[in-house]
Structure 1
């Protein structure tokens, strides 16, 4: 049986997750639940449907979803428009999403084999060669489907294509180790240094992540580290200093670039489509003052000898 994975999205011609022009595969499923995550559709491994009520034409004009649904009690209508789905009863067969003419019901996730992914990659190969780009696998958490990643990256290396893995590194080390021979670049996060606060805001403690970062840095594999800077959560002096100390002392400074990603209020509509609460809904902050703070944080890291930049665009190494 061909190796396959649950893919959330394939983004072509991306410039922000690795050098050059890239083709990026977002794999579905993640063990973390970061409060600020803008991609809640990546949480679960299995495909699921998203409901965008404002796009519904009205059941009086269109009843396609009713015709294919195996249990009409799962479809919840308000004023003749689809409002939500009873997810406890829904089997995620996705038939309603396949027939909806207005994309009021959208499928989140589909299966792709390594061969199917490679067909897309080969189409874009000329862009990699001209820009120093390649293929990035992200998530969700791609290490949940590490066997697939390994097979895909092996196929890429056979074609001489640069590979990049973007991961939280919340996994057993053996999964990461198995990918070392076929991965050219790693991208990971340093969200919070305090383990209890890390668990409070992401759902898991950071012990495994920090251990894997230390072990990975010892392999001398190229590593880009990112800090998603979140107002009033990890932008305080203690956390920033602890992050710098960890990079310099525990990782021996073996980070190619530290990227600061300023918080953006993203994904609210996607949370609504899945019937999930958006935990950053009540966060209020001054955008201009916050951005100045991020700039000062970047200066601090650079003064300590850590190459730091704001944003995620990486230059190609031609």
Structure 2
């Protein structure tokens, strides 16, 4: 059993309780314009190129088996060019030969054992802090069989497990993963199906159905709501989500809290490295606007539905 992992982040304190190791899996069914990890969207490995680090030495040209790299003469001297990016297999041969780190591979094949071994290196921190492992992405459910084996192995080792998800998978996938997940970090991007489709490329009916299903199973869920200026931060839309969650909490849903994550442009540089245009034209919130959101949430937070603005994301 192997999966495609594009990053592992140790000592995280923002994606579940305690100190955690984040395992980022490739592949996502949504295309959110504000995505901060665009290298996660494709399920296959990809090459990222940082032109500011390139010396146009040409080492990558003969290394690439697909012949995608070339050098060209320009008014500023010799420049490096990557063509037919869609033909790239993500083998990493070019990155291996690049002396300046201008080329790097996003995504590599790992076995369940390799992932679990990496996770367990920090086991003492989990025991001390109540932390554990969080599977993220991309969307971890797109590699459901691999995710399930990793979660099972971590729990066998006494590690707390969390799964960060956009909710876009069939219910059977969630039903099979749920017994091995201690905490779900679950995205709600918009309550209106058509608006959700316009923002992400897919409707939200399956997402909301899966969320209700997890509540019915008694799973603990931390709700996460990205705030994107002018796209999904209108008070009426937020109130609709809060009302739905209050109803679920009144019925006994185990809601760990609701985190609102203000928009940032951290992913913009990664789009350039992938040779893609950054699709979101929104401007980050001002401090005054963020303070207004804090007041908005404070007026609506209840003991059964704690709301908070999370500035790290």
Query: Does the Cα contact within 8 Å between 2:61 and 2:68 map onto a contact in 1?
Result: no
2:13 to 12, 15, 20: 15
Please name the residue that 1:82 is paired with. Answer: 80
Deviations 1:33-64 (A, max 9, x none): 01111110001000010111111012xxx221
Please name the residue that 2:269 is paired with. Answer: 269
Which shifted more, 81-90 or 104-113? 81-90
Query: Does the Cα contact within 8 Å between 1:74 and 1:86 map onto a contact in 2?
Result: no
Find the aligned partners of 1:158 and 1:73 in 2 and give their Cα distance. Answer: 45
Find the aligned partners of 1:232 and 1:186 in 2 and give their Cα distance. Answer: 28
* Counterpart secondary structure, 2:104: strand
Question: Cα distance 1:200–1:154, how it changes in 2: closer, same or farther (>3 A)?
Answer: same
Please name the residue that 1:301 is paired with. Answer: 300
Please name the residue that 2:30 is paired with. Answer: 32
Please name the residue that 1:120 is paired with. Answer: 118
Query: Does the Cα contact within 8 Å between 1:136 and 1:165 map onto a contact in 2?
Result: yes
Find the aligned partners of 1:90 and 1:30 in 2 and give their Cα distance. Answer: 19
Please name the residue that 1:284 is paired with. Answer: 283
How far did residue 312 of structure 1 move?
7.5
Please name the residue that 2:59 is paired with. Answer: 64
How far did residue 67 of structure 1 move?
2.2
Find the aligned partners of 1:210 and 1:121 in 2 and give their Cα distance. Answer: 31
Query: Does the Cα contact within 8 Å between 2:58 and 2:80 map onto a contact in 1?
Result: no
Find the aligned partners of 1:13 and 1:5 in 2 and give their Cα distance. Answer: 22
Query: Does the Cα contact within 8 Å between 2:262 and 2:310 map onto a contact in 1?
Result: yes
Find the aligned partners of 1:133 and 1:108 in 2 and give their Cα distance. Answer: 26
* Counterpart secondary structure, 1:50: strand
Question: Cα distance 1:312–1:141, how it changes in 2: closer, same or farther (>3 A)?
Answer: farther
How far did residue 153 of structure 1 move?
1.1
Which protein has greater RCO, CA pairs closer than 8 Å, 6+ apart? Answer: 1
Alignment root-mean-square deviation, CA: 1.8
Summarize the alignment of residues 210-249 of structure 1 with structure 2, pairs less than 5 Å apart. 210-249=208-247
Find the aligned partners of 2:180 and 2:215 in 1 and give their Cα distance. Answer: 16
Question: Cα distance 1:55–1:199, how it changes in 2: closer, same or farther (>3 A)?
Answer: same
Find the aligned partners of 1:128 and 1:286 in 2 and give their Cα distance. Answer: 34
Query: Does the Cα contact within 8 Å between 2:131 and 2:160 map onto a contact in 1?
Result: yes
How far did residue 86 of structure 1 move?
2.1
Deviations 1:220-270 (A, max 9, x none): 211100111111111111101111111122564541110111111111110
Unaligned runs of 5+ in 1: 314-318
Find the aligned partners of 1:63 and 1:119 in 2 and give their Cα distance. Answer: 37
Find the aligned partners of 1:75 and 1:186 in 2 and give their Cα distance. Answer: 45
Deviations 1:3-50 (A, max 9, x none): 111001000111111111111100000000011111100010000101
Question: Cα distance 1:293–1:85, how it changes in 2: closer, same or farther (>3 A)?
Answer: farther
How far did residue 311 of structure 1 move?
1.4
Please name the residue that 2:255 is paired with. Answer: 255
Summarize the alignment of residues 153-232 of structure 1 with structure 2, pairs less than 5 Å apart. 153-232=151-230
Find the aligned partners of 1:135 and 1:303 in 2 and give their Cα distance. Answer: 29
Query: Does the Cα contact within 8 Å between 1:76 and 1:86 map onto a contact in 2?
Result: no
Query: Does the Cα contact within 8 Å between 2:263 and 2:284 map onto a contact in 1?
Result: no
Please name the residue that 1:316 is paired with. Answer: none
Please report the TM-score for the alignment, with normalisation by the length of structure 1. Answer: 0.91
Query: Does the Cα contact within 8 Å between 1:229 and 1:294 map onto a contact in 2?
Result: no
